[in-house]
């Protein structure tokens, strides 16, 4: 049954290795592991509990370690980086792309980063330092510096001969970038144009200027939107004064898109998007304790609201039976509004111009559902307890709570974001608090009025 969950990427080697694993360590296992492409070996490490993970890591050949580390998620990578000395760190950066080296170095303590940088040759060091000078979550932090540049005055024939002198061109090169004498980006020459145009044409004549360069300080989520909208494979990154600094490729953007999309879901459960699925129990428990502790405060706030109405509950115990329904339905309705708006914001759909419409739509939808379910719940409550007061009170409380919850759910992400607070993380907690408090307060409060 669970068998079919096994990842099958059409790579038999991966499955065979997984089977070999069940029979313990062997030279055969080592051979198979090191025969895997680095991303698959990394995936195997990420899918392994701690002990097995350390064991597998020791089996990986030195020269493969750097490639595997690049493919690991931050948290798992950190574990291995922490256990390496400077010489080992130097070794794994060799032959890596500049942006990947920068990623690694950013995870190390400052003094060690310095030591590794000092050990690199000056050209490489300079390149890495350029990338390191930009925050990790900007275009500058994402970019690579391996760019083939050409001059506008060259003919395509010259460009073709120039390329032929290369052993290889950088991966994901779909365009060559055209720069002027001051190294300023002025256009792009797609390989497709290079291959289909008369070689006697000059670069200037056929280059495309509609591929807008990306500013080095653009946020990575915006870079992702540009790539998605324009269906780009690579794009030039420029400095403030227009100089070409490097190039961003779609493979790095895909990682941004996945992380961003996962972030909201994980945050809503108080998890980090980089969370190691196979972290040890103690670490897991410690991390989650924080989130549970915050939720406990919420729970006690709700409890204290109930506490105010103990006398009423003592009089009509049916209130205790029904009160979680009011609170819960508010939480569910609000959660839908919250999730929809968080997704809309991630897609860049929510703005000043449409927010008002969205909020009134949510209020209307929440109110309609409030009426609908209030009627049903009210009927069931009456049939259950044969008490018209309780039946009427729960109906009013549900309409109040559902309407409040959807308005809070829909507006929270916008308010939190403008305060630079993560909407997914804080939004869920605040919404729960509000729907519990308003739910209990309206239901028990109205009941107290009518039963006194």
Residue 192 touches a copy of itself, criterion: CB under 8 A: yes
Count of residues engaged in binding a copy of itself, rule: CB under 8 A: 146
- 3-state SS class at 233: coil
* Residue closer to a copy of itself (CB basis): 47 or 153: 47
Query: Rounded to an integer, what distance in angstroms lies between the CA atom of residue 65 and that of residue 94?
Result: 11
Contacts to a copy of itself from residues 74-93, by CB under 8 A = none
Nearest to 332 by CA among 439, 233, 208, 214: 439
Binder of a copy of itself out of 135, 348, 375, 388 (CB under 8 A): 348
Residue 361 touches a copy of itself, criterion: CB under 8 A: yes
* Residue closer to a copy of itself (CB basis): 87 or 285: 285
Query: Rounded to an integer, what distance in angstroms lies between the CA atom of residue 286 and that of residue 284?
Result: 6
Residue 141 touches a copy of itself, criterion: CB under 8 A: no
Two tokens at 240? Answer: 């403030």
Q: Are 116 and 86 in contact (CB under 8 A)?
A: yes
Beta strands in 195-272 (DSSP E): 214-215, 234-238, 244-249
Query: Rounded to an integer, what distance in angstroms lies between the CA atom of residue 40 and that of residue 354?
Result: 45
Binder of a copy of itself out of 25, 112, 172, 359 (CB under 8 A): 172
Contacts to a copy of itself from residues 366-385, by CB under 8 A = 366, 368-369, 372-373, 376-377, 380, 384
CB of 107 to a copy of itself, least distance (A): 20
CB of 122 to a copy of itself, least distance (A): 27
Residues near 418 by Cβ (< 8 Å), separated by ≥ 6? Answer: none
Residue 167 touches a copy of itself, criterion: CB under 8 A: yes
Two tokens at 427? Answer: 């939004």
- 3-state SS class at 165: coil
* CA 137 centroid distance within chain: 11
Contacts to a copy of itself from residues 31-70, by CB under 8 A = 37, 39-40, 43, 46-49
Query: Rounded to an integer, what distance in angstroms lies between the CA atom of residue 259 and that of residue 346?
Result: 12
User: Dmax over Cα atoms in the chain, in whole Å?
Assistant: 95
* Residue closer to a copy of itself (CB basis): 91 or 226: 226
Residue 302 touches a copy of itself, criterion: CB under 8 A: yes
CB of 237 to a copy of itself, least distance (A): 12
User: ∠45-46-51 over CA atoms, to 5°?
Assistant: 60
Residue 155 touches a copy of itself, criterion: CB under 8 A: no
CB of 291 to a copy of itself, least distance (A): 7
Residue 1 touches a copy of itself, criterion: CB under 8 A: yes
Q: Are 436 and 327 in contact (CB under 8 A)?
A: yes
x/- map, 252-291, a copy of itself, by CB under 8 A: --x--xx--xx-xxx-xxxx---x-xxxxxx-xx--xx-x
CB of 58 to a copy of itself, least distance (A): 19
């Amino acid at each position: 049954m669970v068998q079919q969950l096994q990842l099958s990427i059409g790579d038999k080697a991966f499955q065979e290795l997984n089977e070999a694993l069940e029979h313990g360590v062997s030279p055969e296992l080592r051979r198979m592991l090191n025969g895997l492409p680095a991303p698959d070996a990394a995936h195997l490490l990420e899918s392994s509990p701690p002990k097995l993970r350390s064991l597998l890591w020791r089996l990986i050949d030195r020269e493969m370690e750097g490639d595997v580390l690049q493919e690991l998620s931050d948290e798992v990578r950190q574990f291995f980086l922490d256990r390496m000395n400077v010489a080992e760190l130097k070794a794994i950066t060799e032959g890596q792309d500049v942006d990947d080296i920068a990623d690694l170095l950013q995870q190390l303590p400052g003094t060690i980063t310095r030591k590794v940088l000092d050990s690199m040759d000056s050209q490489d060091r300079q390149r890495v330092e350029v990338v390191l000078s930009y925050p990790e979550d900007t275009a500058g932090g994402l970019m690579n510096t391996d760019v083939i540049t050409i001059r506008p005055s060259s003919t395509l024939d010259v460009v073709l001969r120039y390329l032929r002198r290369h052993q290889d061109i950088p991966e994901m090169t779909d365009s060559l970038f055209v720069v002027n004498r001051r190294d300023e980006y002025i256009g792009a020459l797609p390989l497709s144009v290079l291959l289909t145009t008369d070689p006697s044409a000059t670069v200037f004549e056929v280059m495309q200027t509609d591929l807008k360069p990306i500013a080095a300080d653009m946020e990575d989520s915006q870079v992702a939107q540009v790539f998605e909208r324009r269906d780009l494979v690579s794009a030039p990154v420029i400095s403030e004064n227009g100089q070409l600094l490097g190039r961003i490729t779609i493979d790095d953007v895909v990682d941004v898109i996945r992380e961003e999309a996962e972030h909201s879901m994980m945050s809503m459960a108080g998890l980090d998007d980089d969370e190691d699925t196979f972290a040890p129990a103690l670490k897991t428990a410690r991390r989650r304790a924080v989130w549970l502790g915050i939720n406990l405060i919420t729970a006690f706030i709700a409890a204290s609201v109930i506490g105010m109405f103990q006398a009423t509950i003592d009089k009509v115990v049916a209130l205790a039976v029904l009160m979680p329904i009011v609170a819960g339905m508010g939480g569910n309705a609000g959660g839908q509004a919250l999730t929809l708006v968080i997704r809309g914001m991630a897609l860049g759909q929510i703005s000043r111009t449409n927010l008002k419409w969205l909020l009134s739509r949510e209020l209307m939808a929440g109110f309609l559902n409030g009426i609908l379910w209030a009627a049903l719940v009210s009927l069931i409550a009456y049939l259950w307890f044969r008490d018209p007061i309780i039946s009427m009170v729960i109906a009013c409380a549900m309409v109040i709570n559902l309407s409040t919850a959807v308005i809070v759910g829909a507006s929270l992400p916008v308010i939190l974001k403008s305060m630079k607070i993560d909407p997914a993380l804080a939004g869920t907690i605040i919404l729960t608090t509000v729907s519990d408090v308003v739910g209990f307060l309206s239901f028990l409060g109205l009941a107290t009025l009518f039963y006194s």
